[in-house]
């Protein structure tokens, strides 16, 4: 659950304040999952009917900038957002678009070493492991996609699942 007092203090330190729209976006994300901007927009409009999709995108950009929201996108799919403060990585099913958070201890050290070896500084990194989830690999129907997967990213799954990528 999002502590809005802590969020407000963090926003003020970064020259922003906690507006009604920002609070509504954080509440929409508080349910968990990886949500599209359109899904967030629908949820926010339930309590603030006049809010525009543009306002949602601007708000998400600000919340990302100050570290309260993370965005995920893969292979040109629409970004999905989550309220997450911890560094984590993702498993993505190419069939049903299920997206799961996974910790990857030790990845920071590997990323740092690789970047420094190539002369890079101020590194950031993200790991996305793609494949087929257990139910999809077994051919089971009814595999649960991530709650925020919208139709555009779902249709992309069919195009990506046979893309000829490397299997491990």
- How many domains, the chain? 2
Task: Please give the Cα distance from 39 to 116 (Å, whole number).
Answer: 39
The verdict on 91 and 152 lying in the same domain is yes
Domain stop point among 59, 81, 103: 81
C-alpha 97: how far from chain center:
13
pLDDT band, residue 4 (cuts 50/70/90): low
pLDDT at position 8 over 60: no
Q: Are residues 27 and 95 in the same domain?
A: no
The answer to whether position 151 is within a domain reads yes
Percent of the chain at pLDDT above 90?
30
Pick from 128, 144, 48, 9: which is nearest to 25 by CA? 48
28 shares its domain with 46: yes
Q: Which domain covers residue 75, as residue numbers?
A: 4-81
Provide the CB-side half-sphere exposure for 28 (13 A, CA): 28
**How far, in Å, CA of 88 to CA of 103, rounded?**
5
Burial of 102 by CB count in 10 Å (0-12 exposed, 13-18 middle, 19+ buried)?
Answer: exposed
CA–CA dist 19, 36 (Å, integer): 21
- Retrieve residue 112's tokens: 């740092």
Query: For the domain that residue 151 is a member of, what is the CATH number?
Result: 3.30.1490.190
User: Does 101 lie in the same domain as 56?
Assistant: no
Q: Examine the domain organization and report whether 50 and 109 are in the same domain.
A: no
Distance CA 93, CA 118 (A): 31
Claim to verify: residue 72 and residue 13 sit in the same structural domain: yes
Buried b / exposed e over 35-59, threshold 16 CB at 10 Å, is: bbbebbbebbbeeeeebeeebbeeb
pTM: 0.67
Whether 62 and 99 share a structural domain: no
Q: 36: domain CATH number?
A: 1.10.10.10
9 pLDDT band, cuts 50/70/90, is low
For 32-80, write each residue's pLDDT tens digit: 788 999 999 999 999 999 999 999 999 999 998 888 888 888 887 888 9
Q: Is residue 43 part of a domain?
A: yes
Mention every residue, 6+ apart, whose C-beta is less than 8 A from residue 51.
21, 24, 41, 44, 45
Asked whether residue 9 falls in the same domain as residue 72, the answer is: yes
Residues 53, 23 share a domain: yes
User: In whole angstroms, what is the distance from residue 16 CA to residue 159 CA?
Assistant: 40
Q: What is the pLDDT of residues 120-148, one digit of tens each?
A: 988 888 888 899 999 999 998 655 655 45
34, 49, 81 — which closes off a domain? 81
User: Of 81, 112, 128, at which residue does a domain stop?
Assistant: 81
- Pairwise pLDDT comparison (104 vs 8), residue with the higher score: 104
């Amino acid at each position: 659950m999002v502590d809005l007092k802590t969020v407000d203090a963090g926003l003020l330190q970064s020259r922003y304040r906690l507006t009604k729209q920002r609070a509504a976006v954080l509440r929409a994300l508080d349910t968990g999952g990886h949500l599209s901007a359109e899904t967030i927009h629908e949820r926010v409009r339930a309590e603030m009917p006049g809010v525009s999709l543009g306002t949602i995108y601007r708000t998400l950009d600000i919340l990302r900038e100050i570290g309260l929201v993370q965005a995920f996108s893969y292979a040109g799919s629409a970004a999905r957002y989550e309220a997450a403060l911890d560094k984590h990585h993702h498993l993505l099913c190419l069939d049903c678009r299920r997206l799961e958070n996974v910790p990857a201890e030790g990845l920071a050290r590997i990323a740092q070493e690789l970047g420094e070896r190539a002369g890079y500084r101020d590194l950031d990194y993200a790991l996305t492991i793609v494949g087929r989830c257990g139910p999809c690999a077994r051919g089971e129907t009814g595999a649960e996609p991530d709650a925020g997967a919208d139709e555009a990213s779902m249709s992309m799954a069919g195009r990506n699942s046979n893309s000829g990528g490397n299997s491990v």
